[in-house]
Structure 1
């Protein structure tokens, strides 16, 4: 008879698997399960996705940059303000360089510097005065170069920024007068008197310009009547008549005209 010895299995209780450094579960201060190691090495400075999502402790979660958005916004705002102030200072230097060139009679070169200042100047309230001055200074350069249309454009931009800019109004009025835009020149002089009723230069300019404006109006009327006369003769000639059969009579009270037919 063969004896078979049976191995006892009661002693073979499997030992629990050792938890690796990355799989042992702990619970952080918020009660959320996380994984950690009792012998974890210090961080090497690189963050994995799991590290970023779970973190190592509640203290580190409190120090995460995302917990301080207001602080980041303050830093960004200060940085932007510093950039604008630096740009404003650089634009002012360009304006001063333009003024120096203007004083030397180098008007074309001065315009280049004023343009550079306008390109650099930031879009902020504190730069508005500098921008209006540069536009007006460009205007007086064009005035010296007898580029009157450019003077009007430049001064108009200065006035858009600063409607009370008397020098820009004066220079634009002068350019209008050079181009025989007498009505527009008078308008600019009257605007100056609204801002400064004691401005003698504007008063003198208006007294000088009003007769010129009236002469121009009469001249324009005569030219218009002449053109209408030619057109009328070409039409009435088919019927054996001419505009000489019609007489225009001016009303001294209203300045209007009435037409009467004469054989």
Structure 2
């Protein structure tokens, strides 16, 4: 059997897979299946270690296999609350296999759990583009825009509160406060105007 071409240099090949490449592929398919079953046992620490060892040995030219290993290790890390590490693994899996919906779903869930709602929405949109039948992604695309809007409003209020505190600190030596400055928003343009008020208490 002729050697199979490999697009990447890896531990077991330098431009080409060995003549028994088919057996090697079958070996890794079986190994990944066994690892997946082992990962469902509930011992997530051992599962993470097993996937890490497999990634060290799996030829880099086996991109689909490595994407599965990264995604499965992400699941094991997710169960251990290692969210950022799990996100990193999902990203590596997606980089190797951009159409890997399970890895995209997993990363979207992790983004939500870490309050990265914009990133989560982008992943859910990407999933729907690939498979419109995914109910979880469709539901998230309807739910997240409102959550993002509410979060942005909350952050804006927090920012204005901090600016008000800072303004009072600066104005206090001059006998003024932010109450002397009325901020009004133009509903048509969204822009703000500031008016000075000499005696704000008299205007209440």
TM range (shorter): 0.7 to 0.9
Q: Where does structure 1 lack aligned partners over 5 or more consecutive residues? A: 1-75
Q: Note if 1:227 corresponds to 2:162.
A: yes
Residue of structure 1 in register with 2:7 after alignment: none
Change beyond 3 A, Cα 1:246–1:131: same
Whether the 8 Å contact between 1:248 and 1:260 is mirrored in structure 2 is: yes
Change beyond 3 A, Cα 1:77–1:229: closer
Correspondence for 2:60 among 123, 130, 137: 123
Residue of structure 2 in register with 1:113 after alignment: 50
Distance between the aligned counterparts of 2:102 and 2:186, measured in 1? 41
Instruction: Using the TM superposition, give the Cα deviation of residue 198 of structure 1 relative to its aligned residue in structure 2, in angstroms.
Output: 3.4
Correspondence for 1:185 among 120, 137, 142: 120
Instruction: Using the TM superposition, give the Cα deviation of residue 89 of structure 1 relative to its aligned residue in structure 2, in angstroms.
Output: 4.9
Distance between the aligned counterparts of 1:134 and 1:253, measured in 2? 52
SS at match of 2:53: helix
Correspondence for 1:157 among 92, 100, 107: 92
Distance between the aligned counterparts of 2:166 and 2:69, measured in 1? 50
Correspondence for 1:238 among 170, 173, 178: 173
Q: Note if 1:198 corresponds to 2:133.
A: yes
Residue of structure 2 in register with 1:210 after alignment: 145
Taking structure 1 as the reference length, the TM-score comes to: 0.63
Structure number with larger C-alpha Rg: 1
Instruction: Using the TM superposition, give the Cα deviation of residue 206 of structure 1 relative to its aligned residue in structure 2, in angstroms.
Output: 1.9
Q: Over residues 139-193 of structure 1, what are the superposed CA-to-partner deviations in whole Å (9 max), with x where a residue is unaligned?
A: 1222222222122111011111112221111111111111222222111111112
Provide the aligned length of Structure 1 versus Structure 2: 186
**Farther-moved stretch of structure 1 (204-213 vs 84-93):** 84-93
CA RMSD, Structure 1 to Structure 2 (Å) = 2.6
Whether the 8 Å contact between 2:93 and 2:103 is mirrored in structure 1 is: yes
Residue of structure 2 in register with 1:49 after alignment: none
Q: Note if 1:257 corresponds to 2:198.
A: no
Instruction: Using the TM superposition, give the Cα deviation of residue 105 of structure 1 relative to its aligned residue in structure 2, in angstroms.
Output: 1.7
Residue of structure 2 in register with 1:95 after alignment: 32
Taking structure 2 as the reference length, the TM-score comes to: 0.79
Whether the 8 Å contact between 2:60 and 2:66 is mirrored in structure 1 is: no
Query: Of Structure 1 and Structure 2, which has the larger fraction of its residues in helix?
Result: 2
Change beyond 3 A, Cα 1:238–1:108: same
Change beyond 3 A, Cα 1:191–1:80: closer
Whether the 8 Å contact between 1:250 and 1:258 is mirrored in structure 2 is: yes
Q: Note if 1:175 corresponds to 2:114.
A: no
Change beyond 3 A, Cα 1:79–1:159: closer
